[in-house]
């Protein structure tokens, strides 16, 4: 089936759902009900919240409407008449929509007793919907405006075949199992406390250790690739962001000013202005370029509470940030270098399939001359061609200050996530008046590249947890080995083993609780620890360990030194299988 026909099916399902809701709950007011990428939704105003049992009732009522096989009848109506009818029914959302439609007539669809303002298209009749499922209820503001009515949004999905529906529901079940918010709680990695504030992450000991592992790899990787590491403050004078243009163009995403000795300051939404101030400390020769700066810089951006989502959408996050100052003739080579860096980094974390986009000049709002955009886009495209990867052109998808490369990674269940961005910038070099001295002694304007390989660390950790379903590779696991004794006779041996593993740089815990060994093993399995070393009298007497690997693999008994060598071999970054 085509996407268009699937959209028609799902749009029709939304109308059937709205008909069922208004029959079951007559005081409910209807808003909008479109098809979306993986299904449909409809927004309703109702004082009482919809419950899980309500969804079951709505599904049953929908089934009766489907069995009745009401035709979808389409007809035009004078706009003023439609507004009058919806006013009489106290359907204020439909009145508002109708009032904003151009022309003197509106399109109406009727199925059974349900009448809706809608452009269509729809199925011929309600009986055309056979395979559907209501999924969840969420909050939504009318017109997406938090100052307006709070609505309830019921989500559902529909397919043409029973098999497609079953496959999709199975994927949803798998997605729910992999939800990083659940995994973060179950594995004791992080939390978000409303007393501290939404979108602000508390990293627990194991989560902080995971962050440190990623950050340590990141720093080493960047130093090896010719970057200099920077550290910059969390706040800066408001004047800095006025010069950068963020205050004029990005203020809705910035937090209010802080008065310090009668001078306004802001928490930073970006690291780049500070990096450029470091560049400007001294005069640079063309021989020094490219200059590559990198920082794991924590930034703060305002996000509405309704869009906050675990680690994936937060208000404070640490950005995997880098800025490269290059000569104009170095742009293509450096773009290629950064792209290859990004791919190497993503492969290390186990991501090997990508969607790559070249985002070009917006049609209207942009800075710089068209010929400079064309030159930059040509350089970037030449770099992409040399990578050997297929890419798509996202016409007009660039930022107002320059074209960019976006890399989306494919996870274990086929979802794509935006991570790496390589962004050319016409704007900041000009605003901060940065320069270099060319071979003839004249000051020239360099080019500037923003780049992030992982995106934000918060979001990247969330993606990692969902990709691996919490079962992180050995090199990333905060705890690599759990030592579990069978009884108190092995306590001393286990403590000595614990110290030996620590001395060898292996992250271990000692589970010497007075519990049965089966209970200890089960709990450490739930924690997704890669290896469990079970110690009984036999292991103690032979200076060995009985190893259970994640995935219920029994590796048998082996000498302690052999086990240590195994852990070290498989702990190298980029080895993502046990």
Tell me: pLDDT of 267 over 90: yes
Which helix (H) or strand (E) covers residue 111, if one does? strand 105-111
- pTM of the predicted protein model: 0.87
Kindly report the length of the chain.
578
Chain centre to alpha carbon of residue 203: 18
Under the banding of pLDDT at 50, 70 and 90, the label for residue 161 is very high
Q: What is the pLDDT of residue 37?
A: 87
How many CB atoms are closer than 10 A to CB 112? 17
Percent of the chain with pLDDT over 90: 83
Structure tokens at 360: 């070009």
pLDDT digits 0-9 by tens, 59-69: 999 999 999 99
* C-beta separation of 175 from 413 below 8 A: yes
Under the banding of pLDDT at 50, 70 and 90, the label for residue 330 is very high
Tell me: pLDDT of 2 over 60: no
Compute the average pLDDT of residues 495-514: 96
Q: Are strands 544-549 and 235-237 parallel, antiparallel or unpaired?
A: unpaired
Q: Specify the residue for token string 């949803």.
A: 172
Distance CA 453, CA 421 (A): 7
- On the CB side of 561, CA atoms within 13 Å amount to 1
Percent of the chain with pLDDT over 70: 99
What's the chain's average pLDDT? Answer: 93
Tell me: pLDDT of 293 over 90: yes
pLDDT digits 0-9 by tens, 87-102: 999 999 999 999 999 8
Compute the average pLDDT of residues 140-162: 92
Compute the average pLDDT of residues 498-514: 96
Q: Is 466 exposed, middle or buried (0-12, 13-18, 19+ CB in 10 A)?
A: buried
Which helix (H) or strand (E) covers residue 568, if one does? helix 560-570
Structure tokens at 105: 């007539």
pLDDT digits 0-9 by tens, 545-560: 999 999 989 999 999 9
Tell me: pLDDT of 373 over 80: yes
Tell me: pLDDT of 368 over 90: no
Which helix (H) or strand (E) covers residue 11, if one does? helix 3-24
CATH superfamily of 481-570: Anticodon-binding domain (3.40.50.800)
Whose CA is closest to 114, among 13, 45, 9? Answer: 13
Q: What is the pLDDT of residue 364?
A: 78
Compute the average pLDDT of residues 446-465: 95
Chain centre to alpha carbon of residue 560: 41
Reduced to 3 states (helix: H, G, I; strand: E, B; else coil), residue 76 is strand
Q: What is the pLDDT of residue 400?
A: 81
Whose CA is closest to 545, among 554, 557, 553? Answer: 557
Distance CA 524, CA 510 (A): 11
Whose CA is closest to 531, among 469, 472, 463, 461? Answer: 472
How many CB atoms are closer than 10 A to CB 376? 25
Q: Is 170 exposed, middle or buried (0-12, 13-18, 19+ CB in 10 A)?
A: exposed
Compute the average pLDDT of residues 130-159: 92
Question: In the CATH scheme, what is the code of domain 186-232+271-467?
Answer: 3.30.930.10
Q: Residue 368 — left, alpha, or beta (φ > 0 → left; ψ -120 to 50 → alpha)?
A: left
Compute the average pLDDT of residues 334-347: 95
Reduced to 3 states (helix: H, G, I; strand: E, B; else coil), residue 186 is helix
Compute the average pLDDT of residues 508-521: 94
Tell me: pLDDT of 510 over 60: yes
Higher pLDDT among residues 456 and 402, named by residue: 456
Indicate the domain borders of the chain: 3-161, 186-232+271-467, 237-267, 481-570
pLDDT digits 0-9 by tens, 184-202: 999 999 999 999 999 999 9
Tell me: pLDDT of 33 over 50: yes
DSSP E strands: which ranges in 192-254? 202-203, 228-229, 235-237
pLDDT digits 0-9 by tens, 10-29: 999 999 999 999 999 999 99
pLDDT digits 0-9 by tens, 306-320: 788 999 999 999 999
Q: What is the pLDDT of residue 120?
A: 84
Under the banding of pLDDT at 50, 70 and 90, the label for residue 4 is low
Catalytic positions, please?
Answer: 272, 301, 319, 321, 323, 404, 450
Least confidently predicted of 176-190, 279-293, 383-397: 383-397
Distance CA 416, CA 435 (A): 39
Under the banding of pLDDT at 50, 70 and 90, the label for residue 1 is very low
Distance CA 181, CA 410 (A): 20
Structure tokens at 576: 């993502």
Tell me: pLDDT of 207 over 60: yes
Under the banding of pLDDT at 50, 70 and 90, the label for residue 159 is very high
- Long-range CB contacts for residues 513-517, cutoff 8 Å, separation at least 24: 514/488, 517/484, 517/485, 517/486
Question: In the CATH scheme, what is the code of domain 3-161?
Answer: 3.30.980.10
């Amino acid at each position: 089936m085509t996407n268009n026909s699937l959209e028609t099916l799902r749009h029709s399902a939304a109308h059937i759902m709205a008909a069922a809701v208004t029959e079951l709950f007559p005081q409910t007011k209807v808003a909008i009900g479109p098809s979306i990428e993986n299904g449909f939704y409809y927004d309703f105003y109702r004082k009482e919240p919809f419950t899980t049992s309500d969804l079951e009732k709505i599904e049953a009522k929908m089934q009766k409407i489907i069995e009745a096989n009401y035709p979808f009848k389409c007809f035009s109506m004078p706009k003023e008449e439609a507004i009058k009818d919806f006013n009489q029914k106290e359907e204020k959302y439909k009145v508002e929509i109708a009032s904003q439609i151009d022309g003197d007539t509106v399109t109406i669809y009727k199925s059974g007793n349900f009448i809706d303002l809608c452009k269509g298209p729809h199925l011929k009749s309600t009986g055309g919907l056979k395979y559907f499922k209501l999924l969840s209820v969420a909050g939504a503001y009318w017109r997406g405006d938090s100052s307006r009515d709070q609505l309830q949004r019921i989500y559902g999905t529909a397919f043409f075949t029973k098999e497609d529906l079953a496959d999709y529901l199975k994927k949803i079940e798998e997605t729910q199992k992999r939800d990083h918010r659940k995994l973060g709680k179950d594995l004791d990695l992080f939390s978000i406390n409303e007393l501290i504030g939404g979108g602000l992450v508390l990293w627990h000991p194991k989560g902080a250790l995971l962050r440190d592992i990623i950050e340590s790899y990141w720093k080493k990787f960047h130093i090896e690739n010719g970057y200099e590491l920077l550290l910059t403050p969390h706040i800066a004078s408001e004047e800095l962001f006025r010069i950068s243009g963020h205050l004029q163009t990005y203020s809705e995403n910035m937090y209010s000013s802080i008065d310090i000795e009668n001078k306004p300051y802001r928490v930073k939404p970006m690291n780049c202005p500070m990096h450029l101030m470091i560049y400007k400390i001294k005069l640079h020769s063309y021989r020094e370029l490219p200059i590559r700066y990198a920082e794991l810089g924590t930034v703060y951006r305002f996000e509405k509470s309704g869009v906050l989502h675990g680690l994936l959408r937060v208000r404070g996050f640490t950005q995997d940030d880098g800025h490269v100052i290059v000569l104009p003739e170095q742009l293509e080579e450096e773009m290629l270098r950064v792209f290859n860096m990004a791919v190497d980094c993503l492969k290390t974390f186990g991501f090997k399939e990508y969607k790559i986009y070249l985002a070009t000049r917006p049609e209207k709002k942009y800075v710089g001359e068209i010929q400079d955009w064309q030159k930059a886009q040509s350089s970037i495209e030449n770099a992409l061609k040399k990578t050997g990867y297929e890419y798509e052109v996202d016409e007009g998808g660039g930022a107002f200050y320059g074209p960019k490369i976006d890399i989306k990674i494919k996870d274990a269940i086929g979802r794509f996530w935006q991570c790496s961005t390589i962004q050319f910038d016409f704007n900041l070099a000009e605003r901060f008046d940065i320069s270099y001295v060319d071979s003839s002694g004249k000051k020239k304007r360099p080019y500037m590249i923003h780049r992030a390989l992982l995106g934000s660390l918060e979001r990247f950790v969330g993606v990692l947890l969902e990709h691996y379903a919490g079962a992180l590779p050995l090199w990333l696991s905060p705890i690599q080995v759990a030592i579990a004794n069978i009884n108190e006779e092995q306590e001393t041996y286990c403590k000595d083993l614990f110290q030996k593993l620590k001395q060898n740089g292996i992250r271990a815990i000692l589970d010497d609780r007075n519990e049965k060994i089966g209970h200890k093993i089960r709990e450490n399995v739930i924690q997704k620890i890669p290896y469990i070393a079970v110690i009984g009298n036999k292991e103690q007497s032979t200076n060995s360990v009985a190893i259970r690997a994640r995935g219920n693999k029994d590796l048998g008994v082996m000498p302690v030194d052999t086990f240590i060598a195994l852990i070290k071999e498989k702990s190298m970054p980029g080895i993502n299988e046990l």
